[in-house]
Structure 1
């Protein structure tokens, strides 16, 4: 039995006991037909629907439940953007699901459907920097983040828990009500701006409550070893350098 499933089972049981409920009574509150005994023994996974009910009724942090955070409760009123479903490999350890361009079209509509996630390819990345957190891979579409990200490349992104966790200047995968985008995020008083790197693409304005998940991009996978083209500023600096070189040679 894998480490993360054991943690989830133990914390699930701990929560039930803290609430003073029997397994049958807890199952009734969660809206599941069978008792919670199989979940507590680690024989059944905790579904996305159950995670959503635990959050809605008890403000339980899904990442705490799966051993990815020590923050058990989430504050009421804070915009929560953590994933409702995590994916596990055959050893019941968390892996990195890959959402390609085709799958991204249906991603926002399947956030709480564990069976849909099982259709996605996934892999393990046994590096220390990819442990103790939830990661997911997304394929880049379009040129809005060019030249930082190219169409067809993949980004590996780490799940954020709250909208207040976002950092200025970072690139994020932002899941909205019916789509997902890769952008930088600027928080304003009553609105959120999603900013492209490519100046040809205007900002997208949205409301905080319309954001369902946020993933902070930590690395990318590219199929090309070609160097990235210069940004306009780098191109201008290169031209100035060449002009100065020509002037020095002319003065000799």
Structure 2
């Protein structure tokens, strides 16, 4: 038997329904469905989609993760069964926040959809954040001041691209760039512009099809207490104000 066969059998038993009932819902015969559970036949793509929707679970988990090891109440279902995220809670029922450390960052692109990988990440609890699914990500480099290299950005999961607000900052997980923290703007319907607050780094575009996850900035955890340096824009404003004051003084003396 395959992992897929074990999964659909386990899900059916948890749902407490017969093979006949599942087959009726899929619009196929019971004998055909039985072959999928026995592993003697592989489900074609169209049937695979129907099975995923019937059990409310993503296709990638059906094929690649042993769902028997995952309590169903620890999963967060997203739109169109695209992905299921594990949710773990403390003794008071508060959601734990998984922290993607620098060491774990390298494997996140492959493990973000694997509940076993996620549940092995370090966890903290921040009850003041309120509702939503949160996760912590490391900051690298100097592209997003005042957040420094080594800080942790706590983000809230964004399910739909339409929820992204121009000018706000987000952790973006993409197929091509991996994990980045940037300020976003919607350039086109299916394209986002990623901008750094440090203008030394040029902005660039990312297509919606390349995006795996988006997490909206909620708070950060840092280790530095040094005073933030004044930006060039603020310095120019102060210089112009000083020149304006001097001009006014000259006029008043005339």
Same fold (TM over 0.5): yes
Gaps of 5+ in 1: 1-11, 34-48, 57-64
Whether contact under 8 Å (1:87, 1:97) holds in the other structure is no
In structure 1, the partner of 2:175 is: 177
In structure 2, the partner of 1:193 is: 193
Higher relative contact order (CA 8 A, sep 6+): 1
Find the aligned partners of 1:180 and 1:118 in 2 and give their Cα distance: 19
How many residue pairs get matched?
202
Deviations 1:7-53 (A, max 9, x none): xxxxx99x958xxx448976x89x899xxxxxxxxxxxxxxx97323
Structure number, greater radius of gyration: 2
- Superposed, 1:56-205 pairs within 5 Å as 74=79, 84-89=84-89, 91=91, 93-127=94-128, 130-147=129-146, 149-177=147-175, 179-187=178-186, 188-205=188-205
Deviation at 1:134, TM superposition (A): 0.5
Find the aligned partners of 2:119 and 2:78 in 1 and give their Cα distance: 28
Find the aligned partners of 1:166 and 1:182 in 2 and give their Cα distance: 14
Structure-2 change in CA distance of 1:234 and 1:22 (3 Å)? farther
In structure 1, the partner of 2:27 is: none
Find the aligned partners of 2:99 and 2:118 in 1 and give their Cα distance: 9
In structure 2, the partner of 1:53 is: 59
Relative to its length, the structure with more helix (as a share) is: 2
SS in 2 for 1:146: coil
Deviation at 1:241, TM superposition (A): 4.2
Find the aligned partners of 1:160 and 1:172 in 2 and give their Cα distance: 9
Provide the TM-score with structure 1 as the length reference.
Answer: 0.64
- The worse-fitting range, judged by mean Cα deviation, of 240-249 and 136-145 is 240-249
Provide the TM-score with structure 2 as the length reference.
Answer: 0.64
